[in-house]
Structure 1
Amino acid sequence: MTEPGVGPEAPGNMRTLVLSNDLDETREIISSAYSPYQLSVLGDPKDFSAWYAEGGFPGVTVSGLQYGAETLVAPQPLDSYLLVCKLVRGRVRVISPGREERVVGAGETYVLDPYRQFQVHWAPGARMTTVRLARETVEAAAADALGVEGPLRARFGLGGPISAGAARSWAGISAAVHREVLGEGIARTSPLIAAHLTQTTAALLMETYRLVTDGVDAQRPGVVAHGAVRRAMALAEERPDQPLTLADLALAARVSPRALQEAFRRHLGTTPLGYLREVRLGRAHADLQTGRGNPAVTVAQIACHWGFANLGRFAALYRERYGVPPSRTLRG
């Protein structure tokens, strides 16, 4: 089921946590799911109803939320995570006291960062879906995007995507995340795939919405000693089965992510993540050779284990490097 189909039936692997006409029960459960918040009915209390459901894989949570009466929600700052919200039906008015205000209609999106005070005025029957990312993931992606060392306190404006192209790209990654959650996607069982999809989602977030980083300038990569490259290579070779990020490799190299990227291009003609992919491809090749003659071993299992979610892409990379399809290596 696609993202716009999310509704009170809680499709796929989402769990309904609230389906109620009780204001106090709704306030208690959704406060636990999000953050403590005030919930007020502005219309006739007899018209109040609420539905909330969520699901996810490690790194990402998807939720659906609907109120059946005119409602005002005033949460505390989210603190530990960020929400990208999409109106599926109706409209809401988002108010950030002293900062911004925006009316959001069906099909439009906005971002609530971990630090923002905000209120949301719901029109009766409005429904939204959200994609939730941990603050640490977002701050690491913001640092990578600007080429600075360490996590970066990432603030976002209430405006929508910065361009139509950015909106289309975000819609694509959001749809992929929803498919993984609502269906039986491999991100639910593969930590590597889950980490890759989470990191890609966070990175694309930086390119889609206006990132507010007052006083922070992107660093120019300096001349990086080859030792930094060797340290990153060592980590990639020691832990290729772990969901390593560019930030992880840069931390091991003791340089900024952007500086490490420039150093890899200069010394090796590739990128840090490109090198990590080559290491994983080599490990997959070794597993295919080891599994030869064992009918219980499949190419898909090995590819997934080493973080290759797209089997066609894995086969193309493998053939390019080894001259034969992976199935021939496995079956002889």
Structure 2
Amino acid sequence: MTVVDDALAPAPWRPGFATTDPDHAAQVIRDSYQISRGVRMPARPEDFHFAQQMQDGDGFALGRFRCPSPIGYRGPQGGVYCIDQVYRGRVGFLTSRHDLRAVAGEVFLVPNDEPWEAATDDVDVAGMMLDRERVAAYAASVSGSEDLTFTGLDPVSPGAAHFWDATVAHVRDTVLDDAVARESPLVQGEAFRMLAAALLTTFPNTARAAEGGRVPRVEPAVVRRAAQFMDEHAHDAIGLEDVAAAARVSPRALQMAFRRHRDQTPLEYLRRVRMARAHQDLRDGDPTRGDTVAEIAARWGFGNAGRFSGEYRRVHGCSPNETLRR
């Protein structure tokens, strides 16, 4: 395993489920992590407690659990790639080809193409799961490799491990923890592509090898900084110059980066973010309190209510007035 010099920083802990019943915990683990061949709980259930948080996205899910007791597992996991980050304790996976041991501060890819036996002991572990078919389709689109195979479970470098951790943290904090972003297909799609690109960049695989160790179209930091700035300031009167300044590049360079990596301009992205926020406000609105389509549209920078209504219908398949009155 690659040992990261500085242990990966633990994410905020917000358990959504807790139990002292081993059988209940086993069922939750099987369902949440798609473990196909069973979960083995400790022999002394009176000492047992288990807590988990789970956040779902479109094509991805981030789970995290804590359990001081030893647990055994038999995989593989169905239909997903799972990348685990260990915050505490010990994790082991044994297959016909791999004998993997991980401790706090390490990140690894769970074996995905063969049966495995696994064990955890006194752990705090987070696992990002990505839909396998969608990852394969993304890999084919960016590298031309039709047969995606991961050739190792360890990150290609400590820097790659930190890159993966930073990508997961960004998606967790700006997509999974944001009610508007969770409702936006655009934001969800971008988050999945970001995670898929980070997965292909972090772990050795045939798509990466086909590109000489480089996966194309991984967004540069300038695009991510600009997108994050627009996500956070969509309610403000910002323009291209403001976004470029936040991204620390010229407006022209930012335009070119967005065109290359997102096939849109920065202001087109901003308009879509604002449309998503307007959609959320319409869903949350109440006409009996005086909420109107025109007021909500203006709040998000759409000065012409008629034009907003036409654009909204193209995106959401119904009128904004229909959404407001549901």
CA contact (8 A) 2:11 2:169 kept: no
Gaps of 5+ in 1: 220-268, 289-293, 306-332
Structure 1 residue 6: Cα displacement: 4.2
Q: What is the CA deviation profile of residues 67-101 of structure 1, one whole-angstrom value per residue up to 9, with x for unaligned ones?
A: 221221113x2231111110111111122x21111
Partners of 1:34 and 1:23 lie apart in 2 by 16
Aligned-residue offset at 1:133: 0.9
Aligned twin of 2:177: 183
* Secondary structure in 2 matching 1:155: coil
Distance in 2 of aligned mates of 1:275 and 1:59: 19
Distance across 1 between alignment mates of 2:12 and 2:51: 11
Q: Which structure 2 residue ranges, 5 or more long, are not aligned?
A: 1-7, 213-255, 276-293, 303-307, 309-326
Shift of 1:59: 2.5
Counterpart contact for 1:112–1:156, Cα < 8 Å:
no
Return closer, same or farther for 1:152/1:90 CA change in 2, 3 Å cut-off.
same
Alignment root-mean-square deviation, CA: 3.6
Alignment partner of 1:196 is 2:193 = no
> 5 Å matches for 1:217-236?
217=210
What per-residue deviation string (whole Å, max 9, x for no partner) do you get for residues 113-165 of structure 1? 54332222111x211011111112211233245333xx533335222x21232
Q: Taking every aligned residue pair, what percent have the same amino acid on both sides?
A: 20
Please show how residues 1-332 of structure 1 align to structure 2 within 5 Å: 4-7=10-13, 9-10=14-15, 15-16=16-17, 19-35=18-34, 36-41=36-41, 44-75=44-75, 77-95=76-94, 97-112=95-110, 114-123=112-121, 125-148=122-145, 151-159=146-154, 161-180=155-174, 183-184=177-178, 186-212=180-206, 217=210, 273=260, 276-278=263-265, 281=268, 296-297=296-297
Q: How far, CA to CA, are the matches of 2:37 and 2:264 in structure 1? A: 44
Instruction: Assess if the C-alpha contact under 8 Å between 2:21 and 2:45 holds in 1.
Output: no
> After the TM superposition, which segments of 4 or more aligned residues of structure 1 sit over 6 Å from their partners?
269-272
TM-score by length of 1: 0.59
CA distance in 2, matches of 1:299, 1:155: 47
Question: Cα–Cα, structure 1 residues 84 and 298, in superposed 2: closer, same or farther, change >3 Å?
Answer: farther
Q: Which amino acid is 1:4 matched to?
A: P
> Matched residues in 1 for 2:66 and 2:270: separation?
47
Report Cα offsets for 1:285-306 as digits up to 9, x if no partner.
9x99xxxxx664358567xx9x
Query: 1:105 Cα deviation (Å)?
Result: 0.9
Q: With structure 2 as the length reference, what TM-score do the two structures score?
A: 0.60
SS at match of 2:162: helix
Q: CA deviation at 1:172?
A: 1.4
| Aligned mates of 2:301, 2:164 — CA distance in 1 | 29
